[in-house]
């Protein structure tokens, strides 16, 4: 087995002697690459952003921005990364390097003051700069306030500001950063990182990296993972590490054995059958979003509100469901879609409706040694859907309440209602009483107002620093009234 290593800015770098729990951020900084910074250590500020070469959706390779503070360095074994230092082109001896176009635009447009957050912004911006399908300026106009063909969140150069939703700046202000993002053109002919997209991304390395008394494992097959879990049921299973990374950084959690499943082929399929859509549990949310391309509208509404692009580039449905958190954003949506989970174990597979999956706070019917292999969403889809996330910030925040609706309305009558709730009980739940209050009734003001009163009483909301129990209950009722106001015209037309 080849010794664990990472290609960093074109240079092969051994991982040893880093401990298996060491983050990519700490690994890089210990080797003098201090552009990446630790701001929050939980994936909320983006100061640690780096680029990783991953299998592409539209090209053989995508340059994907991720939080280096969350990823275990061992999870990048055999992979290729670029830091903010690696974006510039080295100059001749005695000469300064040539700035990368995104670095140049950040400099000339005043997008940096103290500079702490700047390298992270630059890496996230570079990932969007190299995104296949992003349109460059057609007329050479600069992407400032005169946004010909753009809007407040998309520049005329095709730059999607959601690419920067996970990057925070506390002193510059976002206008010059946005101006820089909207000013970049297309990659120049011969741009090495643009050319790199035409070659395949590195294969997932089969990893067994041990130091001291801990080990990081990445078996090459699902059967290999299940065998490890049979022998070591205490092992921590990770995909994007967006949850486990926080535990390591903030709570100083350590594990004797960590098993990575993020690159298992059996967990990375997306199939659309005649009666269901099957989504691999280890596909990242960004990959799902781009591959489905809006064909499951309720998921399409969820994705922009799920954390940030940096998190979605690593987070998976399997991980979000596997943690069992009552405030995860995907469970309410998947409950409304009547999804089921395919659980794989050493003795075979079984399918469990998501409505029956959660049994208590962070507890489920998943047995020791089992993994979530896939999520199945039945077809056809309900025509009236909505996802309402109530949080203190519009993006990159944890839900106080999350509500997902999927309704079938025929001739003005609610034929079927499915409502998923998060943040109002020890587990994500279906609003069964509210569904019953709607089904068979006319989709009318009287019906909705009566059902909203029922919805307010669903669950057992609690008081905490995010919201009071009373506020959570009130938001449940308001969410149904909002849905009615938003959809009445569409349903009647």
Q: Per-residue DSSP letters for 340-390?
A: EEEEEETTEEEEEEGGGTEEETTEESPPTT-EEEEEEEESSPPSEEEEEEE
- Alpha-carbon distance 170 to 114, whole Å? 9
Q: Do residues 198 and 271 share a domain?
A: no
Task: Name the phi and psi angles at 146, rounded to 5.
Answer: -80, 75
- Cβ atoms of 4 and 53 within 8 Å: the answer is no
CA distance from start to end of the chain: 63
- Alpha-carbon distance 303 to 288, whole Å? 9
Asked whether residue 435 is domain-assigned, the answer is yes
Q: Report the CATH number at residue 343.
A: 3.30.465.10
- Alpha-carbon distance 313 to 319, whole Å? 13
Q: Do residues 311 and 388 share a domain?
A: no
pTM of this structure: 0.94
Token digits of residue 376:
């199945």
CB atoms within 10 A of CB 198: 10
Give residue 153's pLDDT.
Answer: 87
Q: Do residues 438 and 303 share a domain?
A: no
Asked whether residue 208 is domain-assigned, the answer is no
* Block residue for tokens 């309305």: 409
Q: Do residues 338 and 403 share a domain?
A: no
Q: Do residues 324 and 371 share a domain?
A: yes
Give residue 140's pLDDT.
Answer: 42
Give residue 1's pLDDT.
Answer: 65
* 10-residue mean pLDDT series, the chain (493 residues): 92 97 98 96 96 95 98 97 94 84 96 95 98 66 43 89 94 94 95 96 95 95 96 95 96 97 96 98 97 97 95 97 93 98 96 97 95 98 97 86 97 97 96 98 97 96 89 96 86 50
DSSP 72: B
Q: Report the CATH number at residue 451.
A: 3.30.390.50
Q: Considering 202, 220, 248, which residue would you say is the last residue of a domain?
A: 202
Asked whether residue 222 is domain-assigned, the answer is no
Domain of residue 455, residue span: 384-492
Count the alpha carbons within 13 Å of 251 in the hemisphere toward its beta carbon: 8
Asked whether residue 452 is domain-assigned, the answer is yes
Q: Do residues 399 and 295 share a domain?
A: no
* Block residue for tokens 């979003």: 289
Count the alpha carbons within 13 Å of 354 in the hemisphere toward its beta carbon: 32
- Cβ atoms of 122 and 115 within 8 Å: the answer is no
Residues near 311 by beta carbon (within 8 Å), at least 6 away in sequence: 43, 67, 166, 240, 242, 285, 396
* Block residue for tokens 């399929």: 269
Structural domain tally of the chain?
3
Task: Name the phi and psi angles at 214, rounded to 5.
Answer: -130, 160
Asked whether residue 260 is domain-assigned, the answer is no
- Alpha-carbon distance 124 to 50, whole Å? 7
């Amino acid at each position: 087995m080849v010794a664990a290593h990472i290609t960093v800015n074109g240079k092969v770098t051994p991982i040893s002697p880093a401990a298996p729990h060491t983050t990519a951020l700490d690994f890089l900084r210990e080797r003098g690459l201090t552009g990446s910074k630790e701001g929050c250590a939980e994936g909320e500020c983006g100061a640690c952003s780096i680029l990783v070469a991953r299998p592409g959706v539209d090209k053989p390779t995508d340059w994907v921005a991720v939080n280096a503070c969350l990823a275990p360095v061992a999870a990048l074994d055999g992979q290729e990364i670029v830091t903010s230092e690696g974006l510039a082109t080295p100059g001749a001896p005695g000469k300064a390097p040539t700035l990368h176009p995104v670095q140049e635009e950040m400099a000339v447009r005043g997008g940096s003051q103290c500079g702490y957050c700047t390298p992270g912004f630059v890496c996230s911006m570079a990932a969007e700069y190299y995104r296949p399908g992003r349109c460059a300026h057609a007329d050479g106009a600069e992407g400032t306030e005169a946004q010909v063909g753009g809007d407040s969140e998309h520049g005329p150069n095709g730059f999607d500001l959601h690419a920067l939703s996970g990057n925070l700046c506390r002193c510059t202000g976002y206008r010059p950063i946005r101006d820089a993002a909207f000013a970049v053109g297309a990659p120049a002919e011969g741009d090495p990182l643009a050319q790199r997209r035409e070659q395949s991304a590195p294969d997932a390395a089969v990893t067994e990296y041990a130091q001291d008394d801990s080990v990081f494992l990445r078996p090459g097959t699902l059967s290999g993972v299940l065998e490890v879990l049979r022998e070591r049921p205490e092992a921590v299973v990770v995909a994007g590490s967006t949850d486990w990374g926080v535990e390591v950084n903030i709570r100083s959690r350590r594990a004797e054995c960590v098993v990575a499943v993020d690159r298992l082929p059996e967990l990375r399929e997306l199939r659309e059958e005649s009666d269901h859509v099957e989504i691999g549990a280890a596909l990242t949310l960004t990959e799902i979003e781009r591959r489905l391309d809006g064909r499951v509208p309720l998921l399409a509404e969820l994705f922009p509100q799920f954390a940030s692009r940096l998190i979605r580039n690593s987070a998976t449905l399997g991980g979000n469901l596997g943690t069992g958190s009552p405030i995860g954003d995907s469970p309410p949506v998947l409950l409304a879609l009547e999804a089921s989970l395919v659980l794989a174990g050493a003795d075979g597979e079984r399918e469990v409706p998501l409505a029956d999956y959660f049994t208590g706070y962070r507890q489920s019917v998943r047995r020791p040694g089992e993994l979530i292999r896939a999520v199945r969403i039945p077809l056809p889809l309900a025509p009236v859907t909505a996802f309402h996330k109530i949080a203190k910030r519009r993006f990159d925040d944890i839900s106080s309440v999350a509500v997902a609706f999927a309704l079938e309305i025929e001739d003005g009558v609610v034929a079927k209602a499915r409502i998923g709730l998060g943040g109002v009980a020890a587990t994500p739940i279906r609003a069964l009483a509210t569904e019953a209050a709607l089904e068979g009734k006319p989709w009318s003001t009287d019906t909705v107002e009566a059902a909203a009163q029922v919805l307010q009483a669903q669950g057992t909301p609690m008081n905490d620093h995010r919201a009071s129990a009373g506020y959570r209950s009130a938001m449940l009722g308001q969410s149904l009234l909002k849905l009615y106001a938003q959809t009445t015209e569409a349903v009647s037309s």
